[in-house]
């Protein structure tokens, strides 16, 4: 079994257009060994559908079945030498507060693990008017485009009417239900303090005060312990440290990743994994590993 601190379950593969062409299995294998890693998961992005109902939206693309098949074949064919285990998986999104995720069950059966991300705000039952912009990823547009500005205004009205607590509750509810339903979810990806989707969507949750925020986050922490789901941190500023300390206290275990998309590109460099390990150490958080028999 791999040792905590020697694993990275979030490495991207060259078949995804966001990853650099040199992210092939031999190169990933070589770099993983350089860092002393004992176990990794090489992932395929998997989105069955997108919020706008089309093939592409902002930075995301609907999965192409032939690419997924090719990924599975290449993963199966590659046998790493002793000392490193390579698992397969997908990075997919939480779709709504009912815990649906963006990969159908029959496709989940073809892979070892699921890294669950929140790339855009999941659908929530109380949000009646669909908001089809991503305020962070499309920040310039939000300032210049009249239609975007109008949509943003309507969004902020809904945010005000529902209140910040609603969004934390329903984000947490979505995660918890997804963990309940899908046992292959072993990690929640690029979590920071768990609130970055709310920051991305300009939800003023800080008005609730730290005590209340942590209280609202506790069901998520509890579920991560119960379903053995790891909290992933990137080598980036994490937001509110006290949320992470509370999670740690409740028994949540953390894993490091650089969300590797390249070896030496301008962002998402796999070798920066080491810095994510250092970040977890500097915060005094406990590290975990995936228990594959789950
Ligand atoms: Zn992601
Ligand atoms: Zn990723």
Q: Which pLDDT score, from 0 to 100, does residue 294 have? A: 56
Point out the least confidently predicted range of 56-65, 76-85, 271-280, 285-294: 285-294
Residue 53 belongs to a domain: yes
Ligand 1 centroid to Cα of residue 119, in Å, is 6
Strands 113-117 and 230-233: unpaired
CATH number of the domain where residue 206 is located = 3.20.20.140
Q: How many Å apart are CA 189 and CA 71, to the nearest integer?
A: 20
Report the pLDDT averaged over residues 213-228.
98
Percent of the residues in the chain that have a pLDDT greater than 90, as a whole number: 99
User: Which token pair is 122?
Assistant: 């999941």
Q: Is residue 149 part of a domain?
A: no
Which of the 8 DSSP states describes residue 129? S
Q: How far is the CA of 19 from the centre of ligand 2 (A)?
A: 9
CA of 191 to the centre of ligand 1 (A): 10
Ligand in nearest proximity to the CA of 116: 1
* For range 39-68, the mean pLDDT: 97
Could you tell me if 243 and 191 are in contact, meaning their C-beta atoms sit under 8 angstroms apart?
no
Q: How far is the CA of 173 from the centre of ligand 2 (A)?
A: 22
Tens digit of pLDDT for each residue in 227-253?
999 999 999 999 999 999 999 999 999
> What's the 137 CA to ligand 2 centre distance in angstroms?
15
Whether 257 maps to a domain, the answer reads yes
Ligand 2 centroid to residue 91 C-alpha, Å: 6
**pLDDT tens digits, 88-139:** 999 999 999 999 999 999 999 999 999 999 999 999 999 999 999 999 999 9
**Residues spanned by the domain of 86:** 7-121+171-283
For residue 168, pLDDT beyond 80: yes
Query: What per-residue string of b and e applies to 69-90 under the rule 16 or more CB within 10 Å gives b?
Result: eebeebbeeeeeeeebbbbbbb
190 C-alpha to center of ligand 1: Å? 7
The pTM of the full predicted model, rounded to 2 decimals, is 0.97
Domain count, the chain: 1
- Note the ligand closest to the C-alpha atom of 137: 1
Distance 10 CA to ligand 2 centre (A): 6
Please list all protein residues whose beta carbon sits less than 5 angstroms from ligand 1, which is an ion: 117
Q: For residue 164, report the distance from its CA to the centre of ligand 2, in Å.
A: 27
Span from the CA of 101 to the centroid of ligand 2 (angstroms): 15
Cα–Cα distance measured from residue 174 to residue 179, given in angstroms and rounded to the nearest whole number: 9
Whether 87 has a pLDDT exceeding 70, the answer reads yes
Per DSSP, helices labelled H in 239-291 are 241-250, 273-283
Across 178-195, average pLDDT:
98
Which DSSP state fits 63? P
Ligand number, closest to the Cα atom of 260: 2
Distance from residue 116's CA to the centre of ligand 1 (Å): 8
Whether the per-residue pLDDT at 205 is higher than 70: the answer is yes
- Are 282 and 253 within 8 A, CB to CB? no
Residue 140 resides in a domain: no
Residue 257: nearest ligand to its CA?
2
Structural element, H or E, at residue 234: none
Ligand number nearest CA of 259 is: 2
Q: Take residue 100 and report the two structure tokens written for it.
A: 């649906």
Is residue 109 domain-resident? yes
Could you tell me the distance, in angstroms and rounded to a whole number, from the CA of residue 157 to the centre of ligand 2?
31
Tell me the β-bridge partners of 187.
115, 230
The whole-angstrom separation of Cα 255 and Cα 288 is 6
Instruction: Please check whether residue 292 lies inside any domain of the structure.
Output: no
Cα 211 to ligand 2 centre (Å): 30
The Cα 46–Cα 26 span in angstroms is: 22
| Average confidence (pLDDT) over 143-157 | 97
Residue 293 pLDDT grade (very low, low, confident, very high; cuts 50, 70, 90)? confident
155 lies in some domain: no
Instruction: Decide: residue 271, CB within 10 A, 0-12 exposed, 13-18 middle, 19+ buried.
Output: middle
Measured in Å, residue 93 CA sits from the centre of ligand 1 at 8
Ligand closest to Cα of 59 equals: 1
Q: Is 290 within a domain?
A: no
Distance 262 CA to ligand 2 centre (A): 11
């Amino acid at each position: 079994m791999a040792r905590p601190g020697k694993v990275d379950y979030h490495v991207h593969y060259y078949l995804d257009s966001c990853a650099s062409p040199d992210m092939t299995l031999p190169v990933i294998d070589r770099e993983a060994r350089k860092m002393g890693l004992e176990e990794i998961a090489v992932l395929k992005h998997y989105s069955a559908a997108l919020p706008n109902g089309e093939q592409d939206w902002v930075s995301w693309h609907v999965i192409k079945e032939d690419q997924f098949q090719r990924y599975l074949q290449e993963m199966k064919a590659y046998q790493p030498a002793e000392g490193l285990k390579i698992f397969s998986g997908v990075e997919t999104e939480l779709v709504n507060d009912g815990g649906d995720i963006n990969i159908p069950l029959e496709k989940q059966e073809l892979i070892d693990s699921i890294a669950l991300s929140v790339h855009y705000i999941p659908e929530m039952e109380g949000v009646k008017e669909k908001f089809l912009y991503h305020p962070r990823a499309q920040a310039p547009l939000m300032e210049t485009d009249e239609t975007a500005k109008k949509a943003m205004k309507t969004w902020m009205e809904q945010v005000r009417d529902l209140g910040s607590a609603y969004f934390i509750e329903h984000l947490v509810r979505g995660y918890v239900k997804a963990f309940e339903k899908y046992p292959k979810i072993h990690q929640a990806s690029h979590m920071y303090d768990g609130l970055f989707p709310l920051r991305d969507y300009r939800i003023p949750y800080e008005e609730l005060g730290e005590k209340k925020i942590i209280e609202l986050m506790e069901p998520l922490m509890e579920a991560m312990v119960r379903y053995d789901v790891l909290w992933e941190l990137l080598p980036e500023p994490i937001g509110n440290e006290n949320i992470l300390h509370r999670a740690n206290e409740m028994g949540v275990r953390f894993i490091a990743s650089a969300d590797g998309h390249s070896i030496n590109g301008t962002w998402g460099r796999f070798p920066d994994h080491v810095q994510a390990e250092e970040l977890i150490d500097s915060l005094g958080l406990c590290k975990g590993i995936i228990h594959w028999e789950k």
